[in-house]
Amino acid sequence: MTGGAASAPGTLYVVSTPIGNLGDLSARAREVLGKADILACEDTRRTGRLLELAGISQAARASGSRLVALHAHNEAERAPSLVASLLSGKDVALVADAGTPVVADPGARLVAQAAAAGVRVVPVPGPSAALALLAACGLPASRWRFDGFLPRRGARRAAILAEIAAGDLPSVVYESPHRLAGTLADLLAACGPERRIVLGRELTKLHEEIWRGTLAQAVARAAGDGGSARGEHVLVVDAAPGEDKGRERDLVEPIERLLAAGLGRRDAAVAASVLLGAPRHDAYEAALRSGRS
C-alpha cells in the first residue's frame, strides 16, 4: 500500500475503529492503518493514541505516512487536497474518533469527491454504536431509521421529533450526556409516556450499560441522575403503535403456546401465519416480541 505512479490513483479506505473496546479493532483495519500513506483523522491526537495502543508505531507504517486532521470545520477546505493526494497514487485511510466514519461523523464530502474523481473507495467495516445497540435492544430491528444527533433546537428538531413519533420504524438517536435529559423530555412530549425506549451508554467499555423501559420511566430516571449522566448515549425509540402492531400483539399469545410446545421462533411464526391466516412478516415480528426463547 505505497504511493504509485501518478496515472494509478490510490485508494480511499473508510475504516471503522473501536467505540471503546480496543479488541474490536479488526485485523484488516489494523493492516490498513499501518500501511496507508495518509490517515485523515477527526482528531489526530485520538487517532495517534489508538495507533499507540494498537502497537502501530510510526516506524511500522509505510514510509511518509502522516496524520491529517479532517473534521467538520475543515473538511470543505481539506477534501480537495486529499483527493489530489489520492490521484497522485497515495492511499488514504479515513477514520473518525470512534466507530464508522461518515455515519454522524465527518467524511461524506471527502468520500463523494473521491468517488466523483474516479478514486476507488473501500469500506473497512467494524464497530458501530447504532448497530451494537440495535443488536442488543430487544426490539424488532430488521428495519429501522437513523436520526443520529438531533438538531439542537428549532423547527427542524420539532419536525424530526414528529417523524419519530409517527414513524412505523424504530429510530436510532445519538445524544451527549449533558443534553440527554432534554432530549428524553422532548421525546416524551412527542411520543407519549408509554413508548418503549432502550438506552445504551459506554457501549463496549468497562461500564457498559443497556437500559430498557418506557419514555416516562426514562425521563424519571434521568431526573434522578441529576444531570450527571456520563458517556455518549445511543437511544432506540420504538416505532409508533398502529394496526400492524395490534396484529402482532394478537399473534403473541398463540405463538407463545407454540413456543411452549417446543417449536423454535421461526417455525412458530410460520405455523401461526398458516393457521391464523396472518402475514408472515407480522407473525415473525410477534415471535421476536415474545418473551420466550
Q: Which residues of the chain have pLDDT under 50?
A: 3-5, 59-64, 246, 293
176/174 Cα distance (integer angstroms): 7
Write the CB contacts of 197 (distance below 8 Å, at least 6 apart in sequence).
184, 187, 212, 213, 214, 215, 218, 235, 236, 237, 238
197 has which bridge partners? 213, 237
144/286 Cα distance (integer angstroms): 16
**pLDDT the model gives residue 95:** 96
Beta carbons of 199 and 235 less than 8 angstroms apart: yes
* Per-residue cell: 86: 489520492
Pick the CATH number of 11-127 from 3.30.360.10, 3.40.605.10, 3.40.1010.10, 3.30.565.10: 3.40.1010.10
7/10 Cα distance (integer angstroms): 10
Alpha-carbon distances of 11 from 44, 63, 78, 93, rounded to whole Å: 20, 16, 17, 8
Write the CB contacts of 259 (distance below 8 Å, at least 6 apart in sequence).
265, 268, 287, 290, 292
Residue 170's nearest CA partner among 238, 234, 118, 226 is 238
171 has which bridge partners? 145, 237
DSSP letter assigned to residue 66: E
Size of the chain in residues: 293
265/273 Cα distance (integer angstroms): 12
91/79 Cα distance (integer angstroms): 14
DSSP string of 69-84, one letter each residue: E--TTTHHHHHHHHHH
**pLDDT the model gives residue 201:** 94
Beta carbons of 229 and 177 less than 8 angstroms apart: yes
End-to-end CA distance of the chain: 47
Residue 123's nearest CA partner among 105, 101, 90, 142 is 101
Does 130-237 carry CATH code 3.30.950.10?
yes
For residue 279, which amino acid is it?
P
Write the CB contacts of 286 (distance below 8 Å, at least 6 apart in sequence).
247, 248, 249, 250, 251, 252, 255, 269, 272
pTM for the predicted model, two decimal places: 0.76
5/75 Cα distance (integer angstroms): 26
47/51 Cα distance (integer angstroms): 6
**pLDDT the model gives residue 5:** 47
Nearest 5 degrees, angle CA 30-CA 41-CA 82? Answer: 105
